[in-house]
Amino acid sequence: MEPVNSMDTPVMSRRLSAWLMVGALATITTFAAVRTFQLRQQLAEDSADRIRSALHDRLATWEDNLGERAEAWLLELAQGTPAYEHELLQRQSTRWYEASYVWSLEADSVRFEHPALPVAEAGEQLLADPCMSRARLLSRAAPPEVAGLQFRRCRTRSTPVRLLASSLSAAFLEAADQPELALEALDEIDPALDFPLDRASQNGLSAYRMVVRRTQAARLLETLDQQERRERLLLLTATEISELSGGELESLLTTGAKLVRDDISGFATPGELESLDHRIARAHRRLRGWQEVRDRLSLHLEAPYPLTVPDVDGLADSLRFASDIYGDRELLLAYAPIGHGRVAAIQLDGSALLRHLSRGTGTDQTRVAVMDSDGTMLYTERGLGPNDLVLAEVPFERVFPQLRLALIGPTPADGPQGLGWLIGQLTPIALALCLGIIAILGRLAADRRQRELLTRQQAFIARVTHELKTPLAGIRVMAETLDMGVGEDPAQRRNFLERIIQEAQRLEIRIDDILKVARARRPGKRISVDPLELAEEVVEYWRPRFELHGATLEADLAPCAELEADRALLRDAISNLLDNALKYRREDVPGRCLIRCLPDDAWTIFEVTDNGIGVPPAMRKTIFERFARIERPGRGKAGGHGLGLSFVAEAAAAHGGLIECREGFDGGARFILKLRNRR
């Protein structure tokens, strides 16, 4: 037991060092996990900061561009461009431009230059006209047809009077079932039925009265079955109502536009109705903007006002935006003083601007959205997905202070830059982990191999000790017997001496085995060796031994390239293979062994194949290790100690070759020794 005890301390030391390495690896792993989490958090924060900065820059650019456009438009109004013409031109060229407003402050009153205030009906004053009074008196007693003709005679009076007279004449003639005459009464006066509604106030006319006149004409055209003209007139009326500004919208948008819309729905296409509804919706926003300018902005502007027309810089300093005054996010007004006590404002379509801001800004997975202060999505190209979240958001600064611009998308993965930075931070830790794992696995494998080798060595020592004691005991007994004079018979004495010699030979063999363990397998001087000649020499030496044991040794030898090798070491290696073939033959069949020598490209191959008890597949690699033995019934009778094949493997490695074991004849073994040819 002495050798086992001497190995306990190193084994325990190696186990302790392995556990220390495991602890160090666990510590490094924990640190790496924590560090990875921290780095990913930092990457996420940096990514959010980058997104937030990009959103802020985009929003600031968008607001600056919008401010510059508004300043340019207000400067045009300040320099004398008529507000009416400016509004028509910009509304046609810019789809999100709604209206222009210009007013002046005079003492404590406000005077609007544009839009012109609607002309009051003043119906009693118009009926006081002499022609209208006579027609009115006659209409009380005369038939409707006569009353209609009487009102028709007033077509030469002033424009407001003849406009009212034509409507009253058409109403009486229609009641008298004279639709042709009624339509003539409407058609024959100036302005014509298709006179633009937005020019009514400038000509002292009531846009409301003109719309009433057109609806009368549409009804008469339907009666006269003039559908095409009726449809054109109704579409024109609805379109022009939706294009009005200021107070005229208050009197016409709620009632007149609805009535005309209902009439149009009977013949208009879905596209025409959708376009009309869009125009009416814009008109409602324009009406709310006008009401805001009239009721609030015109009375609550900062003073003092410039006495001269401002330049671009001065206008930029005084430009203000108003939005969402009544909770309507689509309302957007930009206003500023433009000199000489005058103020100008422009109304923009906020919804169109916000839709444009949120459209086409993002990637395939992300998109920009406009949200309110509660986080409700107002404008975005597509709805929220199940995995979407707000990656970053920034508030509007000038235009819509109650809204926010946000980037929506799935949880972002590390980008190329962030991933590279993360890899750079974690590479040393990853290398330490890999080296630690490799070291631990190597140490565990080395310990396992050491324990296996120690176990085999202890078994080897136990076997050799037992086998040394056996011949020594026999020699001692026989020597003592001879010393006692028992063996006086010459034949008996000779028998004892032969047995002593046999036991001495067994003892010599076991000592050689021990020397094999202690002696390193290093090749000696290398010389040029002819493989064919070497194989023939080995066959010639071993064939008689096989025949002595009732076995056959066959040879299949081919010329091969010469080798640079230790001839004696190679001969011993091949002899070990033949010795195993003879030692582990089967008792139930005649032994057979085939030795081959054949070339194969850069290799010279020696094969030894037998029909013996063979090697189990699971052991065909292990058997080349020192002290490795196959422990099972029917093996070990030949006295093997697991050293022969390890010697062959060491000899092959010393020559840069290799050895492997495969299936032989009838379950036997086939050993293949491959050696590199001389270069």
Separation between Cα atoms, residue 593 and residue 611, nearest integer Å: 7
What's the average model confidence in pLDDT over 424-448? 69
pLDDT above 50: residue 637: no
Q: Looking at the structure, give the CATH architecture of the domain made up of residues 522-676.
A: 2-Layer Sandwich (3.30)
pLDDT at 595 (0 to 100): 95
CA atoms within 13 A on the CB side of 176: 20
Question: Which letter does DSSP use for residue 464 in this model?
Answer: H
- Residue 424: Cβ within 10 Å count: 9
Burial class, 168, CB count within 10 angstroms (exposed 0-12 / middle 13-18 / buried 19+): buried
pLDDT at 454 (0 to 100): 67
pLDDT at 522 (0 to 100): 59
- Residue 296: Cβ within 10 Å count: 13
Q: Hunting for tokens 């005890």 — which residue is that?
A: 5
Radius of gyration of the chain (CA): 57
**pLDDT bracket for residue 2 (50, 70, 90):** very low
What's the average model confidence in pLDDT over 542-548? 91
**pLDDT bracket for residue 521 (50, 70, 90):** low
Domain ranges, ordered by start, for the chain: 116-244, 457-516, 522-676
pLDDT in tens, 560-602: 888 888 888 899 889 989 988 988 888 889 999 999 999 888 8
**pLDDT bracket for residue 520 (50, 70, 90):** very low
Q: Hunting for tokens 């028709």 — which residue is that?
A: 152
pLDDT at 466 (0 to 100): 56
DSSP-derived 3-state class of residue 25: helix
Q: What angle do CA 533, 538, 541 make, to 5 degrees?
A: 125
Q: Hunting for tokens 């596209």 — which residue is that?
A: 271
Separation between Cα atoms, residue 605 and residue 597, nearest integer Å: 6
Separation between Cα atoms, residue 560 and residue 533, nearest integer Å: 10
Percent of the chain with pLDDT over 90: 10
DSSP-derived 3-state class of residue 526: coil
DSSP-derived 3-state class of residue 365: coil
pLDDT at 542 (0 to 100): 92
- CATH topology identical between 457-516 and 522-676: no
Separation between Cα atoms, residue 111 and residue 342, nearest integer Å: 9
The average confidence (pLDDT) of the chain is 79
Q: Is the peptide bond before 144 cis (omega within 30 degrees of 0)?
A: no
Q: Hunting for tokens 């194949």 — which residue is that?
A: 609
What's the average model confidence in pLDDT over 99-111? 81
Q: Is the peptide bond before 191 cis (omega within 30 degrees of 0)?
A: yes
Separation between Cα atoms, residue 41 and residue 37, nearest integer Å: 6
**pLDDT bracket for residue 513 (50, 70, 90):** low
Comparing 67-76, 80-89, 260-269, 665-674, the range with the smallest average pLDDT is: 260-269
pLDDT in tens, 248-303: 887 787 766 766 777 787 787 888 888 888 888 888 888 888 888 888 777 655 54
CB 113 within 8 Å of CB 83: yes
109 to 106, 118, 299, 335, 338: CA distances (angstroms): 5, 18, 9, 19, 18
Comparing 244-253, 395-404, 462-471, 632-641, the range with the smallest average pLDDT is: 632-641
**pLDDT bracket for residue 608 (50, 70, 90):** very high
pLDDT above 80: residue 537: yes
Strand 592-600 and strand 552-557: the pairing is parallel
DSSP-derived 3-state class of residue 586: coil
- Residue 634: Cβ within 10 Å count: 10
Q: What angle do CA 488, 491, 496 make, to 5 degrees?
A: 80
**Structure-model confidence comparison of residues 649 and 482, the more confident one:** 649
**pLDDT bracket for residue 6 (50, 70, 90):** very low
pLDDT at 51 (0 to 100): 82
pLDDT above 50: residue 620: yes
Comparing 97-111, 134-148, 475-489, the range with the smallest average pLDDT is: 475-489
pLDDT at 596 (0 to 100): 94
The domain 457-516: what is its CATH number? 1.10.287.130
Separation between Cα atoms, residue 573 and residue 550, nearest integer Å: 23
